[in-house]
Amino acid sequence: MKIAIMGAMVEEITPLLEFFEKYKTIEFAKNSYYTTSYKGMDLVIAYSKIGKVNASLTASTLIEKFGAQKLLFSGVAGALNPSLKVGDLLVATKLAQHDLDITAFGHPHGYVPEGSVYVETDKALTVLAQKVASAQNIKLLEGIIATGDQFICDGVKKEWIHSTFNADATEMEGASVAVVCDALNVPFCVLRAISDAADMDAGFSFDEFLVSSAKESAQFIIAMLDEL
Ligand SMILES: Nc1ncnc2c(CN3C[C@H](CCSCCOCCO)[C@@H](O)C3)c[nH]c12
């Protein structure tokens, strides 16, 4: 079984590379892909760089070039649901693109013809994540993620995304990973640890908690590998 583990920022995969210690580096399409093995599984690890376009390229490459049969995304996110605090873990049930907008033609936000507003994640991986969470006595929220090519740090935009998509968290890569994995028929999950509240203090909170929240998400992903 070949598993891809993807992040967007180097901080989101550094904890993984440190854990696996030995890995090969393959350069491709202006990015680096790290291959290793773990408990009989082949792993390929990469961070896409920030944003939906970078994430789409990396998710497609992990599947089409490296042959990933499952894709696990690990990273941080901004909370939209007021019950989510810094350090809380969220596994996405479905994801939408909050900045995809052809409402001028009567379509809902996040929709384009022959598409759908939401893409659902793999249910078996969500069940597995909950199994790991309860074994570790960790609270894991199952929720909706709204993805867009903006760092959200404004209460008005935060509330608009929250209410328009009923989203629990926002980030900049998950929904494009979802579109790619769905189109290529690869089971995927998106796991995010909260780093900020997507409000006016988001920048400071993000800077303070990126590393610790990224580590939390990565450690949870590693625990999921043990159950795969
Ligand atoms: N509130 C928020 N709004 C949107 N996304 C997020 C995320 C999730 N990731 C973090 C990173 C933020 C992009 S700027 C990084 C700063 O670079 C620092 C070096 O210049 C991008 O990959 C999306 C955490 N909080 C968020």
What are the φ/ψ torsions at residue 86 (nearest 5 degrees)? -55, 130
pLDDT tens, 136-195?
999 999 999 999 999 999 999 999 999 999 999 999 999 999 999 999 999 999 999 999
Q: Report the number of distinct structural domains present in the chain.
A: 1
CA of 89 to the centre of ligand 1 (A): 16
In terms of residue numbers, what domain contains 84? 2-227
pLDDT tens, 65-101?
999 999 999 999 999 999 999 999 999 999 999 999 9
Which residue CA neighbors atom 14 of ligand 1 most closely?
A: 151
- What is the token pair recorded at 112? 């384009």
Residue 90 maps to which CATH number? 3.40.50.1580
CA of 10 to the centre of ligand 1 (A): 12
User: What positions carry a catalytic annotation?
Assistant: 12, 196
Q: What Cα–Cα distance (Å) separates residue 21 from each residue in 5, 71, 95?
A: 15, 20, 32
CA of 1 to the centre of ligand 1 (A): 31
Distance in angstroms (rounded) separating the CA atoms of residues 15 and 217: 9
Alpha carbon dihedral 17, 21, 22, 27, in 10-degree steps, equals: 20
User: Could you tell me the pTM of the whole model?
Assistant: 0.98
- In the chain, the DSSP E strands lie at 2-7, 24-28, 31-38, 41-47, 70-79, 89-97, 119-120, 140-147, 169-171, 188-196
Residue 171 · residue 145 · CB < 8 Å: yes
| pLDDT, averaged across the chain | 98
Q: Which residues line ligand 1 (CB under 6 A)?
A: 8-9, 50, 75-78, 151-153, 170-173, 195-196, 198, 202, 206
Residue 150 · residue 126 · CB < 8 Å: no
Q: What is the DSSP letter of 104?
A: G
What is the ipTM for the molecules in this complex?
0.98
Residue 16's pLDDT is what? 98
Residue 138's pLDDT is what? 96
Contacts of residue 162, Cβ cutoff 8 Å, sequence gap at least 6: 80, 81
Pocket test for ligand 1, best of 153, 171, 191 (most atoms within 8 A of CB): 171
CA of 173 to the centre of ligand 1 (A): 10
pLDDT band at 18 (very low <50, low <70, confident <90, very high): very high
pLDDT tens, 180-208?
999 999 999 999 999 999 999 999 999 99
What percent of the chain has pLDDT above 70? 100
* DSSP secondary structure string for all residues of 14-79: HHHHHHH---EEEEETTEEEEEEEETTEEEEEEE--SSHHHHHHHHHHHHHTT--SEEEEEEEEEE
